[in-house]
Amino acid sequence: MQTVSVGIINVTGYIGAELARLLSQHPGVHLASITGRSAAGQKLGQFFPFLSHIPLVIESELGEVDFAFSALPHGAAAEIVAKALEREIKVVDLSADFRLKDATEYQRWYKITHPVPELLDEAVYGLPEINRQEISQARLVANPGCYSTGAILALAPAVKANLVTSNIIIDSKSGVSGAGRTLSLTTHFAEANENVSAYALEGHRHLPEIVQELQNLTQDFNPKVTFLPHLTPMTRGILSSCYAELAPRINPKRLKEEIKGIYQEFYQDDPFIQVTDSPPGTKQTWGSNFCLIYPTVDVEAGRLIVISCLDNLVKGGAGQAVQNFNLMMGFPEDMGLKMPAIYP
């Protein structure tokens, strides 16, 4: 099999390390270059002993590759990505720098002026279950946020079928790895252990991309979304509980009987979506690229309830980026990603 020469920009965070783990066993990948300026000159196995099977030295600049994954934080990624594109390197960017189509919205939520707004129209939002065809033709894909992935996948079939009104509530709970590898008081063991806390009540940065993508699913749909994330004392995983009022024309009892079939039909060609028979838990996705979805109807309240869960570092991050890579390079979508969840 012909392989693609691939680089990881900023391998030193959790997402970068997860990319290295996944790409090292991908049959279509030759991992040729990894960067991380703070660790430049070190062997990858010295920095991350669990990756000692990868015989690469961390560099300060990206080497000669055909494809790059950028795991830089927002604000730092855009200009580096633009330079890679100038070198005719295809890119999946895992920051937020290319997710929002409106540069004004980007500035509002991220408090900086976008460095290369001319690339926003070209970038494809990298949710394969929604934008598969566009991703396959793209040279720049914006990998979705972890919370956004679970929420959009939970709600997309209902929104697309006009089953719900615009009033939506998303309650999400994430493991501490979602905060990244940088030390902080809130993710300190003594603070996070045996504790669940809400945050970003004034608005989380993943909210505008959730709204943007739900809005794009159907005409004249202007979602009013309340999104509330929580930090939970686990390493990996996101569980989202999504609630939406049913459209006035919908019969709740009938929909309760039909909703699982509606979701199964919507996702019938998607290898990493499982519509479950009972509410899933995050342990069922740990280490895998699957998103598990359980839809039901509260008949008394006339409300759709959808539970989704995924591993925030895999389907919510590096795994989805590899899924996008596969589509962009013409590989089978599930190549290198067929691993089941780890249990217990």
- Give the tokens for residue 320: 């989805």
Asked if residues 168 and 158 have their Cβ atoms less than 8 Å apart, the reply is no
Residue 144 backbone zone (phi > 0: left; psi -120 to 50: alpha; other: beta): beta
DSSP output for 133-175: HHHHT-SEEEPPPHHHHHHHHHHHHHHHTT-EEEEEEEEEEE-
Q: Which of 146, 242, 291, 309 is catalytic?
A: 146
In b/e form, how buried is each residue of 94-120, taking b as 16+ CB within 10 angstroms? bbbbbbbbeeebbeebbeeebebeebb
- Contacts by 221-224 with C-beta closer than 8 Å and gap 24+? 221/159, 221/162, 221/166, 222/166, 223/159, 223/166, 223/168, 224/166, 224/167, 224/168
C-beta atoms surrounding 37 within 10 Å: 11
Q: Dihedral through CA 92, CA 93, CA 96, CA 98, nearest 10?
A: -70
**What are the residues facing 59 on neighbouring strands?**
35
Torsion of CA 330, 333, 338, 342, to 10 degrees: 130
Q: Which residues pair with 4 in a beta bridge?
A: 29
Look up 146 and say whether it is catalytic.
Answer: yes
Do 84 and 7 form a contact (C-beta atoms < 8 A)? no
Catalytic residues: 146
